[in-house]
Amino acid sequence: MSSNIKKIGVLTSGGDAPGMNAAVRAVVRSCSYFSIDCVAIYKGYQGLIDDQVKPMSARGVNNIINRGGTVLKTARCLEFITPEGRLKAFKTVQKHKIDALVVIGGDGSFTGAMIFQSEFNFPVIGIPGTIDNDIFGTSHTIGYDTALNTVIEAIDKIRDTAISHNRLFFVEVMGRDAGHIALNTGIGAGAEEILIPEENMGLDRLLESLKKSEKSGKSSSIVVIAEGDKTGKNVFEIAEYVEKYLPHYEVRVSVLGHIQRGGSPSCFDRVLASRMGVFAVESILNGKSNVMVGVENENMILSPLEKAIKGKSKINNDLIRVSEILSV
């Protein structure tokens, strides 16, 4: 591969996700493989502004493929939203003679990358790392599969106690705008009902459905609710509402919260992150910029960053159908 790119910078930005380290490792090692330099930028865009830049070698990323979080740290950086902040970031890039940036993050990070690219005509490429799987242009984001497995494990445990006490559990999972985690874990953990931001099931239908379950002989139930569920009520309000009408159940709420972000990445996420890291470096060396790497039907693809940000990753309607059939 012949290219003008001699040095690539890599950073992780926005919310952390398991598998980000595997992606960093893949970027660093690919640079080494193609005999170009690689530097790590710490704390996302903040590190770019504050000049927190360190050369990386293939050996510098030993033993991180299995680690959750991000060894490069991440940050939300308000200064990067201003033109002055981005100019400082560009000065750091010039100082270190960085020729292109790999940004591992979510849609906020990609928005920043896109603006930076257009202001300074600087090559950038995105790798989608977010547990929510809410990015257009890839069937899977890094961290999503691990989060699903973490949630399933937690709900399985909750089910043990729900069965023992005839309890009705409302389990809140992450997903402000996207119901992928709720829908998939709801089906995977055998939830009676699943509430997601994309569909308005309505509280009355939920109540009807739970009454039906009770009549059909279910003595305990699990309802999985995404944070951003369309009813507009939070999980505690929903539980309170249902408790009034179903006095036979002992109602409990469990908010899974940040455990969903952490932990060692699943094999799927490690492989995905490795493939995306390699493909990102190859794409930069092939002259690509302002794009995000993704996977679709097992193949690596590129999409314009703008599409990745503006497009909406859709819920699979067949999953809704399956969940309805199986909650009989």
For ligand ADP, the binding residues (CB under 6 A) are: 13-15, 45, 76-77, 80-81, 105-109, 111-112, 115, 130
When the beta carbons of 176 and 321 are compared against ligand ADP, the nearer one is 176
The DSSP element (H or E) to which 110 belongs, if any, is helix 107-120
Q: How far apart are CA 41 and CA 56, in angstroms?
A: 10
When the beta carbons of 115 and 271 are compared against ligand ADP, the nearer one is 115
At 61, list the tokens: 């990323």
Parallel/antiparallel/unpaired status of strands 299-304 and 291-296: antiparallel
Please report how close the Cβ of residue 58 comes to ligand ADP at its closest, in angstroms.
27
Please report how close the Cβ of residue 320 comes to ligand ADP at its closest, in angstroms.
26
Closest residue to ligand ADP: CB criterion: 108
Catalytic residue, chosen from 16, 99, 107, 132, is 132
Q: How far apart are CA 149 and CA 154, in angstroms?
A: 9
Residue 133 burial class via C-beta count within 10 angstroms: exposed 0-12, middle 13-18, buried 19 and up: buried
When the beta carbons of 123 and 129 are compared against ligand ADP, the nearer one is 129
When the beta carbons of 44 and 186 are compared against ligand ADP, the nearer one is 44
Sequence-distant (≥ 6) Cβ neighbours of residue 91 within 8 angstroms = none
Residue 278 · residue 26 · CB < 8 Å: yes
Q: Is 132 a catalytic residue?
A: yes
At 10, list the tokens: 């890599």
Secondary structure (DSSP) of 274-304:
HHHHHHHHHHHHTT--SEEEEEETTEEEEEE
Please report how close the Cβ of residue 110 comes to ligand ADP at its closest, in angstroms.
7
Q: What letter represents residue 29's amino acid? A: R
Residue 117 · residue 306 · CB < 8 Å: no
When the beta carbons of 36 and 77 are compared against ligand ADP, the nearer one is 77
Q: What are phi and psi of 203, to 5 degrees?
A: -70, -35
When the beta carbons of 79 and 282 are compared against ligand ADP, the nearer one is 79
Please report how close the Cβ of residue 13 comes to ligand ADP at its closest, in angstroms.
5
Torsion 68-28-41-127 (CA) sign? negative
Q: Strands across the sheet with 7-12, in order?
A: 53-56, 37-41, 7-12, 100-105, 124-128, 291-296, 299-304
Please report how close the Cβ of residue 134 comes to ligand ADP at its closest, in angstroms.
9
Please report how close the Cβ of residue 12 comes to ligand ADP at its closest, in angstroms.
9
The catalytic residues are 132
